[in-house]
Structure 1
Amino acid sequence: MADFPTVRWGIVATGMISEWFVTDVVKSDWPGKSANHVIQAIGSSSLEKCQKFAEKFVAPAKPSVQPTLYGSYQEIYDDPNVDCVYIGTPHSFHKQMCLDAIEAGKNVVCEKPFAMNVKQAEEVFAAAEKKGVFIMEALWTRFYPLMKTLQKVLHEEKRLGTIYRTFCDFGLEMDIPCLPDGSRYKDPALGAGSLLDIGIYSLTWGLTTLSDKVGEGAEDPEVSSTQTIAYEVDVASQVLLHYRSNGRQGICTSTTNCPPKDDFARIEGSKGHIIVYGKEPSHPDHFVFYPKGGKEERYDFDKPGRGFFWEADAVALDLQAGRQQNETMPWAETLRMMNIM
């Protein structure tokens, strides 16, 4: 562990996603660990929020370094002891917070969706390139060992033969009109709706199972889509991906009208089909290969915590190597997904 790279994190915002990230990375004993993580600083709209957050989610790990608490976000960016900023705010704040952190010379990991649209994302990446800092969209599911193994089974071992179609659905049952005003699930100004919040995961499963390439080398599928709008936000999105080069199709759906199903994704091929299981598409648990005329094969994976540390370890290795981008989630892949959405 002494030889592992260490990242001193500055946590921006104290909501649920920041809670999940911090709770995972402060653990010191997960299998396959390849980096050390220090919660160096926490920033929020008030010191009281930071204090409660640190007491509940950092203190139980008994860290050797106590985080510095700030009642503003800019103080995080200006802290010389922070190596990388983790941004866990609602979508509509991502662009400006990324730009502010970059201007201060900080490396950045920004939660999904990276921005509200592709133009915002392009502006942020241009600023990062000019400043020479690392930045990545935190699409944590792509870093799961399950995802890596599934891609190997599909694209290297070709166990499914010729891939025909992928279906993926992400459902959440939410009573949107009863949510308080200002809720990020209700307010269009905050990026509310199913597409940006959960549809991005359905698209992720479609893109990663239908092609073995990401970013600049990946084919851009043709896109057809429909949405159902209620309460000024999309409560259902259906996206059809069509790869003209090989005829593959992805049916990627999301809704806030219905609860999730544990068999959330199905990949069909000439030699059988694969079903991916889990609580939600963002939290895959295992997958099963059902070969034609053969015995099913189940692939199980250990998942200590929620699984954020695989993403965090990858960032640590990138920073150690002096890279500006991550190969699993390069800038071009974020732009491709933003273009589709």
Structure 2
Amino acid sequence: MASNVPTSTGLISSWFVEDLVLDRPDAKAKHIIQCIGSSSLDKGKEFAKKHCPNASPTIYGTYQEVYNNLDVDCVYIGTPHSFHKQNCLDAIAAGKNVLCEKAFTINAAEAKEVFDAAEKKGVYVHEAMWLRHRPLVVELRSLLFDDKVIGDVFRMSSDFSLLIDIPNLPDTSRYKDLNLGAGTLLDLGIYPLTWSFLALDPNKPGASEKPNVFATQTHIDGVEVTSSILLQYPSTGRQGVVTSTTMSGLRDPVVCRIQGTKGHVDVEGAAAAAPLSFTVYRRKPGTKSDTKDDFETKKYDYPKIGRGFIYEADNTAVDIAAGRKESAIMPWGETIRVMEIMDEIRKQGGTKYPQDQA
């Protein structure tokens, strides 16, 4: 099974391509890097030499040439958020299947426009929220909601922090230019926000409950630099505390904490986007406090294979081979729901992008 994936040449694309060329005997699909689209031929050649030296992709100096290549099955889009809508629409118009990075678009209206075009053209489109595809997430949700390993979940918290000197960046930086979707929410906050969905809602994507949202944001030079969000699920009362900032690089090794009536789970990793393990702390019968000695613990470790993009890449290839038009893990309705929630967070927090005027 082949998934032919041309890419742009930014950082996220380099990570994705490096994962595609890993030697994995148990891979669900054989991935072929058919071609690479870049803003210049020289840049594309350097990208291929560095990140996929054993492959022989065709290098193009435009994205449209990638879309026009008849040997391409699926286009991977790793450009900044603000380009996603047009990149997707151009690929769809050429009849290509699409795997597009998160945040899928700038707002929900753009996402709906892309999916409407995909439906009319009859092509597969999938938001590349790699976190949801990890085996760690699948087992964790089974333990939480099938086995109820910590009883009834009632609260979670997750943060993603990165230190970026916004005031001293050039105005053209994607971290500072509102036209490019600058701010923490779409870039960083989407990960702890996703943890809230995974940890609090037992429903499958597409049948997810829409939580109540209470949000505040802080801005510097007009750019959102800190978001604090409280989510509350009406049917259960479950709450999520979600935060993101570019004002600090300090990170807790616990990237998500999930609390239940019989204990808690700590998800560990380098960042909310990169979990590596989780530990279940189950309260011993008869205990009256939550000290270290009051818990039975079990740690679940997962092998670190590349950067972790392999799972979404494999699942995309399998979906396309099966003739599906949506991912069951991240269906179109779920992408729109997430974008609508982020639209509401920005509305309450006072972040507005030029694309919101459309």
Q: Do these two structures clear the TM 0.5 threshold for a shared fold by scoring above it?
A: yes
Distance 1:178 1:26 in 2: 37
Question: Are residue 10 (structure 1) and residue 11 (structure 2) matched?
Answer: no
Offset of 1:315 from its aligned partner? 0.3
Distance 1:99 1:149 in 2: 35
Q: How does 1:83-162 map to 2 (within 5 A)?
A: 83-162=73-152
Alignment-mate amino acid for residue 187 of structure 1: D
Match of 1:203 among 193, 196, 210: 193
Match of 2:213 among 210, 223, 226: 223
Normalised TM-score (structure 2) = 0.91
Match of 1:43 among 37, 42, 51: 37
Offset of 1:215 from its aligned partner? 3.5
Alignment-mate amino acid for residue 281 of structure 1: A
Could you list the per-position Cα deviations for residues 263-319 of structure 1 after superposition, in whole angstroms to 9, with x for gaps in the alignment? 121100011001111100100011111111232110100021001011100001000
> Partner residue of 1:20?
15
> Partner residue of 1:171?
161
Contact 2:167 2:220 in 1 (8 A): no
Distance 1:77 1:126 in 2: 19
Q: How does 1:187-266 map to 2 (within 5 A)?
A: 187-259=177-249, 260-266=251-257
Contact 1:285 1:300 in 2 (8 A): yes
> Partner residue of 2:265?
274
Contact 2:150 2:281 in 1 (8 A): no
Question: Are residue 310 (structure 1) and residue 302 (structure 2) matched?
Answer: no
Offset of 1:9 from its aligned partner? 1.2
Alignment-mate amino acid for residue 45 of structure 1: S
Normalised TM-score (structure 1) = 0.95
Distance 1:160 1:131 in 2: 45
Could you list the per-position Cα deviations for residues 205-240 of structure 1 after superposition, in whole angstroms to 9, with x for gaps in the alignment? 000110122433111111110001112111111111
Distance 1:322 1:175 in 2: 46
Match of 1:289 among 267, 271, 280: 280
Offset of 1:28 from its aligned partner? 2.2
Contact 1:214 1:333 in 2 (8 A): no
Distance 2:265 2:117 in 1: 41
Alignment-mate amino acid for residue 282 of structure 1: A
Offset of 1:181 from its aligned partner? 2.7
Could you list the per-position Cα deviations for residues 31-77 of structure 1 after superposition, in whole angstroms to 9, with x for gaps in the alignment? x4111001000001100110000100111xx23xx101100010000
> Partner residue of 2:331?
330
Distance 1:335 1:121 in 2: 6
Q: Give SS of 1:142's match.
A: helix
> Partner residue of 1:56?
50
- Give the % identical residues: 50
> Partner residue of 1:180?
170
Q: Give SS of 2:229's match.
A: strand
Contact 1:215 1:331 in 2 (8 A): no
Could you list the per-position Cα deviations for residues 94-125 of structure 1 after superposition, in whole angstroms to 9, with x for gaps in the alignment? 00000000000000000000000000000000
Task: Show structure 1 runs of 4+ deviating over 4 A.
Answer: none
Alignment-mate amino acid for residue 40 of structure 1: Q
Contact 1:10 1:83 in 2 (8 A): no
Offset of 1:137 from its aligned partner? 0.5
- Equivalent pairs, count: 331
Alignment-mate amino acid for residue 273 of structure 2: S
Q: Give SS of 1:234's match.
A: strand
Q: Give SS of 2:256's match.
A: strand
Alignment-mate amino acid for residue 129 of structure 1: E
Q: Give SS of 2:47's match.
A: helix
Alignment-mate amino acid for residue 4 of structure 2: R
Q: Give SS of 1:305's match.
A: coil
Contact 1:136 1:329 in 2 (8 A): yes
Contact 1:262 1:279 in 2 (8 A): yes
Unmatched runs of 5 consecutive residues or more in structure 1:
none
Contact 2:230 2:242 in 1 (8 A): yes
Alignment-mate amino acid for residue 280 of structure 1: A
